[in-house]
Amino acid sequence: MTGAVPETERKIKPNAMPKSSAVQGTFRAEGLTLARGARWLFRGLSLRVCGGEALLLRGANGSGKTSLLRVLAGFTVPDGGKLFWNDRPLAPLGSVGRDLLLYIGHANAIKDDLTALENLAEALVMDDVAAANRTPEALCSALDSVGLSARRDLPARKLSQGQKRRIGLARLLLVDKPLWLLDEPTNALDTDGVNLFTGIINSHLERGGLVLIASHLSIPLAGTVRELNLDETVELAA
């Protein structure tokens, strides 16, 4: 009698990964400054991430990790600073930025009335993911790879918070952008889910992708991994 494959032994299927070649590039920020009231969240902050590298954003709640990711994604206009991709300036919310990066916030951004399959399909459309990565076969394969095969047709309201978070993991499997900005992506995931997440990130890094992650956890990532502690950047605004 053959039992179900345990989550820890589940492999990411090759056809669940993006149909894109290895990526190369460098993402750079110079002199980023953002204030909230009388407090600088960060001032004159610069960072650089190259292909195959991960940058982990650390800091206490309220230290500015989410705000920094939103600035890097182009959703928040900073008080100062510039962003570059391969030394080319990026305008906030410009088309180059949308083609370049994926941002996933700390909220699940899941619609309870839609199924897991429908939520994944809608998210990929919003991400402007290539049609070849949004076929029914690709969607089902990605959901199977993250342990949601039996739940893909259930309304999201019937899923646990961890299962909803796994829809985001399936989203990572199919997105075809080199730069990922992820805010607390392991929230609500169990140990097996964190292992799945780590494997997806490591595969992206091995292909030359870039990742910035805001997280309180120690994540065993491959390649070059650096940390930026925002607790050390706090100042009072003049």
Q: What is the pLDDT of residue 19?
A: 45
**Model pLDDT, residue 22:** 55
pLDDT for position 99 = 83
CA distance 195 to 184: 15
Helices (H), the chain: 65-73, 95-100, 116-126, 136-145, 161-174, 191-206
Separation CA 230–CA 63 (nearest Å):
6
At 1 the pLDDT is 39
In our burial notation (b when 16+ CB lie closer than 10 A, e otherwise), range 31-44 reads ebbbbeeeebbbbe
Backbone dihedral angles phi then psi of residue 69, each to the nearest 5 degrees: -60, -40
pTM over 0.75: yes
The stretches in the chain having pLDDT less than 50 are 1-15, 19-21, 235-238
CA distance 53 to 23: 12
Which residue spans within 22-68 are E strands per DSSP? 26-36, 39-50, 53-58
